[in-house]
Amino acid sequence: MGYIGLPTAIIAAEKGFEVVGFDIDEQRVARINSFDPVIEEPEIVGRLDFVLKNKSFRATSEIESADYYIIAVPTPLTSEHGVDLSFVWSALDFIMLVMQSGNSIILESTVPVGTTEKIVQRVKKHNPAWEVGKDFFAAHCPERVLPGNIFYELEHNDRIIGGYDEESSAQVTQFYRTFVKGNIYFKTSRLAEMVKLIENSSRDVQIAFAHQVAAMAEAAKLNPYEVIHMANKHPRVNVLNPTCGVGGHCIAIDPYFLIESFPQQTQLIAQARQVNNMRTQQVISQICRALQDFDGKPTVLLAGLTYKANVDDLRESPALKIAAQLAQLDTIDLLVAEPNVAPIQLHEYVAPSQIVNFNIGIEKADVVVLLVAHTSFNLQNHMVLLQTKLVLDFCGSWFKVTQDSSNFLSNVHGSVEKEL
């Protein structure tokens, strides 16, 4: 019942299914049943309220029988960057306790190629007399939604039904047809598994190129955002904006699934991962170099700690890693501003006294470090004040609001170009 499972459960309940949301976290289950969705997502509070009151949805920590079992659990990495499928196998073990003939298992979690086939093998080992495509059905249907717009994309994005066989695809499609307005494509489970990994690995490679452009521009004492902005004037060029690194539960993780499975065919993907992993440390080094010019103990504000803009998700966040490392320095007074996350969730990384409102932080800070481009950070309202600060822009926000100013990079103390 997380970022994918809960919204999927809600939208299925809205479409007439009787939905049971299973989670082993009893506290999460209790909060959801008490109309608290736990996660931040537009529309989720009202929609959860509706399906709970309508009694078409409830959460539970006790597995129950169903026609469709949707596995939407984390698939993290091990400390050696291998794939940890323990949550998938644990979920399947629960399912096999109660599943009956005619049921369907739908795997939405991102997994290595061949995982759906292993699910089928485990079910057949548990029930030797069962035949896939007849007594039970299995498919991989990868989610492809954007946090902050999940409900819309669950309905409107195209979906791949990666059935173990044609009968499984047909059976599982009956579920998705009830709410998916986008195209539905029928493919094998192995193809669906690889497509999901390719989608996120492609983004990772594109981001790595942006980070290399940033490194080159910074070495040449140029503003990387201006370099990319002008390069993108070419009709067939679309370089992404560099950030302080790559985080989240997908793009920073999924390439390793391919690297582990296909070590001889993933040299570019592996190199892109290395570039993106290095970016966060490069940003920390730039910040520390800029702070060396200060006499005394400067007050530094870090703006944004989530892994991307306008979400509450801290998983694998490079900005959070930067904050945690800078919090160890006794040569600065550190402040952090993260409007999308409850302060208590940040106490593991920074002291409560270091968490401030963005507007207050700007007034107190000598140095403002822009790490995440939250729209709530309305820099336009602080243009005059920010020009008296050292501004380090690692998300393109300052460049965006100043690019049309005739005095860009000339009067703004602390632009990336001047800092370098």
Any idea which residues carry the catalytic annotation?
A: 196, 250
* Paired strand residues for 132: 136
CA distance 44 to 213: 38
CA distance 301 to 380: 17
Pairing of strands 136-140, 159-163: antiparallel
Copy the structure tokens of residue 188. 């094998």
Backbone torsion region of residue 159, taken as left when φ is above 0, otherwise alpha when ψ lies between -120 and 50, otherwise beta:
beta
Residue whose C-alpha is closest to residue 186's, from 170, 205, 202: 170
CA distance 107 to 109: 6
Counting beta carbons within 10 angstroms of the beta carbon of residue 129, is it exposed (0 to 12), middle (13 to 18) or buried (19 or more)?
Answer: exposed
Strand ranges inside 72-196, DSSP E: 103-107, 136-140, 159-163, 184-188
* Residue 151 and residue 121 in contact, taking contact as beta carbons nearer than 8 Å: no
